[in-house]
Amino acid sequence: MINVIGLGYIGLPTALAFATSGQDVVGSDCNPEVVAQLRSGKARFNEPGLNELYAAALEQGVRFSDHYERADVYIVAVPTPYDKFTNKVDATQVVKAIDAILAVAPQGAIIVVESTLSPGAIRKSVRPLLLQRGFKPDEDVYLAHAPERIIPGAMLRELRKNNRIIGCDVPEIGEKLKTLYSAFCEGEIVVTDVQTAEMCKVVENTFRAVNIAFANELARICRYEDMNVYEVIRICNMHPRVNILQPGPGVGGHCISVDPRFLIGDYPSIAKVVAAAMETNDSAPDFVLERIREIMRVEGLVDTSRVGLYGLTYKENVDDVRESPTLQLLELQRRRLAQPLNAYDPYVTRDLVERQFHDLDAFLDANDLVVIMVKHQEIIDAMDKLKGKIILDCHNVCNLPNAYRL
Rule CB under 6 A: which residues touch ligand SAJ? 116, 148-152, 204-205, 208, 212, 245-246, 248, 251-253, 255-256, 314-315
| C-alpha span between 310 and 324 (Å, rounded) | 12
Residue spans of beta strands (DSSP E) within 259-300: none
Least distance to ligand SAJ, CB of residue 115, Å: 9
Catalytic residue among 201, 315, 375, 398: 201
**In this complex, which beta carbon is closest to ligand SAJ, that of residue 173 or of residue 189?**
189
| C-alpha span between 96 and 146 (Å, rounded) | 18
**In this complex, which beta carbon is closest to ligand SAJ, that of residue 26 or of residue 78?**
78
- Paired with 383 in beta bridges are none
Whether 255 is catalytic is yes
Least distance to ligand SAJ, CB of residue 256, Å: 4
| C-alpha span between 290 and 279 (Å, rounded) | 17
Task: Kindly state the greatest CA–CA separation across the chain.
Answer: 73
3-state helix, strand and coil shares in percent for the chain, rounded to the nearest 5: 45, 15, 45
- Paired with 168 in beta bridges are 144
**In this complex, which beta carbon is closest to ligand SAJ, that of residue 119 or of residue 252?**
252
Least distance to ligand SAJ, CB of residue 375, Å: 8
Least distance to ligand SAJ, CB of residue 24, Å: 26
Catalytic residue among 168, 255, 394, 398: 255
Least distance to ligand SAJ, CB of residue 62, Å: 22
**Helix or strand or coil: residue 10?**
coil
Contacts of 3 (CB under 8 A, 6+ apart): 25, 26, 27, 28, 68, 69, 71, 73, 74, 75, 101
**In this complex, which beta carbon is closest to ligand SAJ, that of residue 27 or of residue 152?**
152
Active site residues: 201, 255
